[in-house]
Amino acid sequence: MNSQMTDKTPSPRVLVFACRWCALVGADAAGRGKAELPASFRLIPVECASMVEPDSVLRAFASGADGVAVMGCHLGGCRFNDANHVAVKRMEALGDLLDTVGIGRRRLLLSFGTAHEGRQFAEVLEAFFRELAPLSSLAAWQKPLLNQPSFR
């Protein structure tokens, strides 16, 4: 899938927050299975999806990401007493904010329990890249933001 993406247009840049109990295991299995994925995503392991601050997601968009993925365990399977149920609500609310400011909630992928195996992780990420491909890059307004001294 990525030949059409990498050859002409640069592939969208995606920051993945992966819960280490499921999505990180999925990412690891995708690596061991040698799935072929676009090299333009970066992964930050977190202890639980509920640890991801909405602020971090906004910061990621401001730092050059075209898309952000928050990946946690399936609802009802959280290690931390259903902490991810609250995380889902929080991230859905963040989607409203993204719509309001013009980034759009399509650029925020919420995956709960859909990426805990290697093949699934690869499929979820590939689908997200396909979703982002037709959207324009956010780089135009990220540059001035990034150059602000307060942000550096």
Partner 1 sequence: MPGVIAFLCRCCGEIEPTVDLPALRERIGREEGVAAVELRDTLCLPEDRAAILKAFEESGADRILLAACSPYGKVGNVVAKLSAACGNDRSRVRLIDIREGCAWIHRGDPAGATAKACDLMRMGLGFMRHGKQSADAVVSVRPECLVVGAGSAGLAAAGSIARAGYPVHLVERGAAGGGMVKLLSHVYPTDAGAEERLAPYLEAIAENPLITFHGKTRVAAATGYAGDFKIRLASEKGEKNLRVGTVILATGAGVWLPRGLYRYGELKEILTLMELERRQREGKAAAKRTVFIQCVGARCPERPYCATICCPSSIKNAVLLRKADPDAEVTILHRDIMTPGHILERYYRSALEAGVRFIRFAEAQPPVVLGEGRVGRVEVFDAISGLTREIEADQVILSTPLVANADNAKLAELFHLPLDGYGFFREDYPLHPLETRQAGVFICGSARWPVASGEAVTQGEGAAMKALSILGRKEISALSMSRLPEGKLGHARIEDGSCSGCGNCVAVCPYGACALQPVGGVFVSRANKMRCRACGSCTSVCPNGTVQMPEHNARAVGAMIRRAFAEGDAR
Beta strand 41-46 with 14-19 is parallel
Which of 75, 93, 101, 139 binds partner 1 (CB under 8 A)? It is: 139
| Residue that is written with structure tokens 């392991």 in the block | 45
Which of 4, 36, 96, 119 binds partner 1 (CB under 8 A)? It is: 36
Distance CA 140, CA 98 (A): 17
Which of 47, 92, 96, 99 binds partner 1 (CB under 8 A)? It is: 47
Which of 56, 74, 133, 135 binds partner 1 (CB under 8 A)? It is: 56
Q: Kindly state the smallest distance separating residue 92's Cβ from partner 1, in Å.
A: 14
Long-range contacts formed by 137-142: CB under 8 A, 24+ apart: 137/10, 137/12, 137/66, 138/61, 138/64, 138/65, 138/66, 138/103, 138/107, 139/64, 139/66, 142/61, 142/62, 142/63, 142/64
Q: Kindly state the smallest distance separating residue 30's Cβ from partner 1, in Å.
A: 6
The one-letter amino acid at 27: A
Binding mask 108-137 for partner 1 (x = CB under 8 A): -----------------------------x
Distance CA 72, CA 119 (A): 16
Distance from the Cα of residue 48 to its chain's centroid: 14
Q: Site residues for partner 1, window 3-32 (CB under 8 A)?
A: 3, 6, 10-11, 13, 15, 25, 27-28, 30-32
Q: Site residues for partner 1, window 91-110 (CB under 8 A)?
A: none
Q: Tell me which residues touch partner 1 (CB under 8 A).
A: 2-3, 6, 10-11, 13, 15, 25, 27-28, 30-32, 34-40, 42-48, 50-56, 59-60, 63-65, 77-83, 86-87, 90, 137, 139, 151-152
